[in-house]
Structure 1
Amino acid sequence: MPNPDSGHQLTGASGATESGRSLRADAQRSVDALVAAARELFATKGVDATTREIADRAGVGMGTLYRRFPRRADLIGAVFREELDACANAARTLAEENSPFEAMLKWMQAYVQLIGTKRGLAKAVSSDDPVYVGMAARFDQQLRPAAEALYEAAAAAGEARPNLDAAEILAAVSALCMSTYDGRPDHPSRMVALFVEGLRLPR
């Protein structure tokens, strides 16, 4: 004789699984909305944008924000990782759609945007915070190889000055990203463009 509770138990187990999947999907949507909101606000206000502003823009409550990102540094890290990944991936797309030197020139501008939209990052996340350490490691693993590949392709094509250190080039670009002049927000972009053009071999 079948157990009268067996069907209920099976339905319950299935329902729990479906419910769990639904909760995970909802949680992911909350995370995506919070990261997108933080990215937009960081671009205009820097990382000093308040968590209340971020939650309001994402359309979630403060409780949801703190469940997904218990510390402010966690949210900053999530935004930076997403944009860092996008910048690294852009190197491949630009290489496919442009000449080697133009790909490098355009990617360096994408890099300027990545650095420029993270005003106050060093103050927001301490140097010994695991989030900061993770970002530094991700930078080395993804952005340096991207810069090296683009420069080496341009040099191999005879479009860029040969025998230069790609890591040194990226360090120089990073320094220019932090430069300021007369309050002009486009100053780093213009200086990086001039610097990279100086690497171009005359035809």
Structure 2
Amino acid sequence: MARAISMSTSTAQGPDRPMRADARRNYDRLLGEARTAFAEHGTDASLEDVARRAGVGIGTLYRHFPNRHALMNAVFQEALSALLERSRELAGAEQPCRALVEWLGAIVTHAGEYRGLAQALMSASRDETSALAQCHTPLREAGARLLSRAQESGSVRADVSIDDLLQLTNAIALAAEQTPDDPALADRLLLLTLQGLKGREEPPRG
């Protein structure tokens, strides 16, 4: 999930200088193997195994991704782009409260692709120095716009904050991750979220 990352990025921390061709190949292989490893084993998958499967040493991995959160940030970039695009599509929805909850549901879906991602995103929201904060910050800004519109319409209570909503959303994703035998759990919890958010108008989903 790194197609949104600049081709001039020499590490997961941000643009520096253009990569040599061999460095770019190593970067792309590492990212591909990380996606596979995180999907199969969760975000606590062995970074040594990721490097080995990419055909490079662990030192090469750390030159591109200084820590696990930096690698997770790079892996999550494509999903982040999709979530930001979806927030823009929902910005003009006729029912702002439902639009907000639909977007929160999309976060749950994407977080569920990698075991451990929801927990990591919850932690990143409290640590601005984490590389994953690069994902949390644009998500927070996009969600705040949807929330503000819903509050202005009167369909969401004025005392609701986007930080609380994102923490609740990640908690729902974590609960769904830990309860794989109940695939409807996330939808039920999101319905409860919708009911708790409501100010006036917009009946609950049914």
TM range, smaller chain: 0.5 to 0.7
How far does residue 132 in structure 1 lie from its aligned partner after superposition?
7.8
For 2:23 and 2:92, how far apart are their aligned partners in 1? 36
How far does residue 46 in structure 1 lie from its aligned partner after superposition?
0.4
- What is the match of residue 158 of structure 2? 163
Larger-gyration structure (1/2): 1
Post-superposition Cα deviations, 1:33-75, rounded to whole Å, max 9, x if no partner, equal: 4324322431342023334654576xx4123545534654542
Q: Which runs of 5+ in 2 are unaligned?
A: 1-16
What one-letter code is carried by the residue in structure 1 that aligns with 2:74?
A: A
How far does residue 136 in structure 1 lie from its aligned partner after superposition?
5.5
In structure 2, the CA distance between the partners of 1:169 and 1:56, relative to structure 1 (3 Å rule), is: same
- What is the match of residue 43 of structure 2? 47
For 1:163 and 1:92, how far apart are their aligned partners in 2? 22
Post-superposition Cα deviations, 1:130-187, rounded to whole Å, max 9, x if no partner, equal: x9833354355322222121122233345x2331323233332233222257543635
Q: Does the alignment pair 1:184 with 2:178?
A: no
- What is the match of residue 17 of structure 1? none
- What is the match of residue 154 of structure 1? 150
In structure 2, the CA distance between the partners of 1:37 and 1:107, relative to structure 1 (3 Å rule), is: farther
SS at match of 1:135: coil
Contact 1:87 1:110 in 2 (8 A): yes
CA-based RMSD: 4.0
For 1:50 and 1:146, how far apart are their aligned partners in 2? 32
How far does residue 99 in structure 1 lie from its aligned partner after superposition?
4.9
Count of aligned pairs between the two proteins:
176
Q: Percent identity?
A: 33
TM-score w.r.t. structure 2 length? 0.60
Correspondence 1:12-23 to 2 at 5 A:
none
